[in-house]
Chains A and B, each alone.
Chain A
Amino acid sequence: MAFDREISEKRKRQCSKLVEISKGIVRQTFSKFKPEELGITWTGGKDSTLTLWIIWQVCLEKGAPIPKTMIIGEGDEFEEIEQFVERMKREWSVPLEVCRNEDVLKTTDHQLNALVRVKDLNERNREELKRIGFEEDEFPFEAESYVGNHLMKTVVFNQFLERNGIRGIFQGLRWDEHPARFNDDYFEYKEGGYLMPEHTRIRPILHFTERDLWDTYAAFKIPYCPLYERGYRSLGAKTTSLISVEGVPAWKQDLENTEERAGRRQDKEKAMERMRKLGYM
């Protein structure tokens, strides 16, 4: 995979500066936690791959191994992501753990939209459903539903922390990807609670915009999943991820003026205009 464009020297320097800020966060993390207490979340997507690459750079500098890395298997993956992850795992020697909610997958026989009966699940999953206030006897197995999201992602994440005694976990979130991220900090301490282990979330690439991110990939020739060349801008589950602009690589799209997460949100501006007329709100 080679980028089909050149990045100017000036832009390279700007990207280096952004990477240095991120490396600073990673170095601070290594000084606060023991290596075995650290973990990384990876999806094979652009954000977590950049985060992993930056951590790898710091590890090379320190002669340390990459912390234990988790990837969530939701049961609805792109083959292209799986192949990319497999390749990078080998090239960067990533100690990868594929984490799945095996209990749910077994119950559904790995079939999307299969009906899951709550009483067929193990005790932990039943407790988790109780904790989030799910009150019904069954639900369809869909990763993007609230229940699916919780069981297939949040629970699996918490179990990864528990199992490995992880106290600090790296995440590839960025401020500009979603309004809910605007207030995020580089380090966020999470109190423990019922079924939730105490831990700190570390987000080294918060300050990267989508544009910065792609320029950094080009400037440092960082490998990425080829789906982005086909027009995807954001990768999630296979059946719910949409191509933003067919055949146009992510970095050639209008990143500044369109939504990173494609879908019905394209109508949002129009709908907002109507909502805006509601004076008192």
Chain B
Amino acid sequence: MAEIVGPGCERGIPGNVEMPLAVERLPNGNTLIADAGDEAGFGSEILEVNPVGSIVWNYNEGLRFAHSGRRMKNGNTLITDTTNNRLIEVSPDKRIAMSSDEWGGGTGKLSDGSHLHYPNEAFGLGDGTFLVTDRNNDRCIQVDRNGKVIWAFEKELHHPHNANALTNGNIMIADSDGNRILEINQKKEIIWSYGDGSAETLWWPRSGIRLENGNTLITDSKRHRIIEISPEGRIVWKFHTEHVDKFYITHATKEGTFLIACTDGHHQVIEVDRTGSIIWLFRNYRRPAPIYARLTNGFFKEVGEDGIPKHWVLATRLSEGGGRLIWDVDNKPYPCPGLEYDRPGALFLQQNIFVKVGQTYRVGAEIKTIEVKGAACLHIDFYDAFGGSLYRDITEMPSGEYFTGTNDWTHDLFEINVPAKATFAQLRLAINHSGKVFVRKIMMNPI
């Protein structure tokens, strides 16, 4: 019998904001939020919220991990539907006015023969074209409504996340894996930049915007801070919260405040003023996955109707549309589950478990891998009372061995001490890049 200490809610409930990734203040005073959805890939939507927090408009038809929603001059909303590798333009009455799937005679191909690959951001420009940040193609492009590539910046970028047009005609690009913010002119020359490429200056910056005062506001995600940089490269203003918040996008309002999308940190959008005070906040989060009193079905004896081990969640949000759960049917005395994956993102099989601060737990399992090119491991993420991870980066999380290549069944055993502020642990089997990993006999007990 599974004892539940924290119930979960139904997945994909409209209005439940699990992971806000983009935000902007509309001329009517409302706020447009792009919600990427929950860990299992449900609930991605674009919401318009009024100042008192009521949802006045939303769009959630078929979106998968949508990263951005931008209101266009014509009143439509341009949506970057990331895992679906497409852009769509949606009218206020929720009709699709344009879809990049129609480009190239219905192949979704652009005029240069390429296809959007994990696009993260798109803005409508004044001339009716779009400025698109095409992350996994490592480029930033300007395309027209028919997919004709008008301009492209494809050099030097490493998984860029946000490019936006400046009033001087230049483009500001967040070169996230390059740990830099670049200002590019139309001739594709870098005319200003911040960050030396090391994680010491910027760590996975997600966006840079030019403020009216000429400074640049950078959302420095993994250093969980917002910084304002003078043209000479000095930090003149900083904002961070007390908890680990992987800020995503910052939008400057006309009033001189900043709207910040706080991802799945505390699952909220905040508006801060120059003193760093939070003056407005939107949060409407309920956690879909239950928290079990102890590890439940660690031996995978029970399988749910969906074919996934009961009480476990197949987390596909970061899988970029690939990967699946598999079974080793020859395993004795009963089949054991595994993950098969084939691209650069990651796939997880996970469960939430109640833990006590200060307690030490021993975690163990048997793991087998087949041709894993990236890494597979068992790791633990701890979450605070607001559902925010306590870690800035996956590699900081306590883990067992990192397996690569092919390994026969191996005992994996590690100990963890529950850090302050943790309310529950998320135990995960993870795989990234490509290959197969199987797991059996997972146990986790206080010692």
Contacts and interface: CB of A to CB of B under 8 A. Distances in A.
Given A146-B443, A279-B176, A135 B393 contact: no
Contacts of B404: 267, 270-271
A271 B318 contact: no
A147 B442 CA distance: 11
Contact of A136 (B415, B419, B441): B441
Contacts of A131: 445
B235 to A, nearest CB: 23
A1 interface: no
13 contacts: A132-B443, A135-B301, A146-B441, A147-B443, A179-B398, A180-B416, A180-B417, A183-B358, A183-B419, A264-B403, A267-B404, A276-B394, A281-B318
Contacts of A280: 246, 263-264, 317-318
A278 B417 contact: no
Interface residues of A, number: 38
B432 A182 contact: no
Contact of A133 (B177, B294, B318): B294
A134 B395 CA distance: 29
Contacts of B318: 278, 280-281
Given A135-B299, A149-B362, A268 B393 contact: no
Given A146-B441, A267-B402, A272 B395 contact: yes
B125 interface: no
B295 interface: yes
A278 B441 contact: no
Given A134-B443, A135-B301, A274 B416 contact: no
A243 to B, nearest CB: 19
B204 A265 contact: no
Nearest to A146: B364
Contacts of B298: 133
A259 to B, nearest CB: 11
B365 interface: yes
A98 interface: no
Nearest to A134: B443
B394 A278 contact: yes
B291 interface: no
Q: Which of A134, A145, A271 has the most CB of B within 10 A?
A: A271
Given A180-B415, A180-B416, A278 B364 contact: no
B322 interface: no
Given A142-B411, A149-B362, A279-B159, A136 B395 contact: no
A144 interface: yes
Given A179-B398, A275-B375, A280-B318, 13 more contacts: A150-B362, A180-B360, A183-B417, A184-B417, A268-B402, A271-B377, A272-B395, A274-B374, A275-B394, A276-B393, A277-B344, A278-B394, A280-B263
A14 interface: no
B11 to A, nearest CB: 18
Interface string B220-252: 010000000000000000000000001000000
A275 B374 contact: yes
The 8 closest A-B pairs by CB, nearest first: A146-B364, A271-B375, A281-B394, A271-B402, A180-B415, A272-B395, A135-B299, A274-B374
Q: How many residues of B sit at the interface, in one of the four size bands? A: 35 or more
Nearest to A132: B445
A274 B432 contact: yes
A271 B263 CA distance: 25
A178 interface: yes
Contacts of A142: 411
Nearest to B360: A180
Interface string B362-399: 10111000000011010001000000000001110110
Interface in B341-361: 344-346, 358, 360
B204 A279 contact: yes
B433 interface: yes
Interface of B: 159, 161, 176-177, 204, 221, 246, 263-264, 294-295, 298-299, 301, 317-318, 333, 344-346, 358, 360, 362, 364-366, 374-375, 377, 381, 393-395, 397-398, 401-404, 407, 411, 413-417, 419, 430, 432-433, 441, 443, 445, 447
A149 B333 CA distance: 22
A180 B375 contact: no
A181 interface: yes
A154 interface: yes
Contacts of B393: 276, 281
Contacts of A181: 417
A278 B403 contact: no
B76 to A, nearest CB: 28
Nearest to B358: A183
A274 B333 CA distance: 35
Contacts of B360: 180
Contacts of A133: 294-295, 298-299, 443, 445
A272 B415 contact: no
Interface in A17-68: none
A155 to B, nearest CB: 11
A280 B320 CA distance: 12
Nearest to B394: A281
A206 to B, nearest CB: 13
Interface string A120-150: 0000000000011111110000101111011
A182 B374 CA distance: 28
Contacts of A144: 411, 413
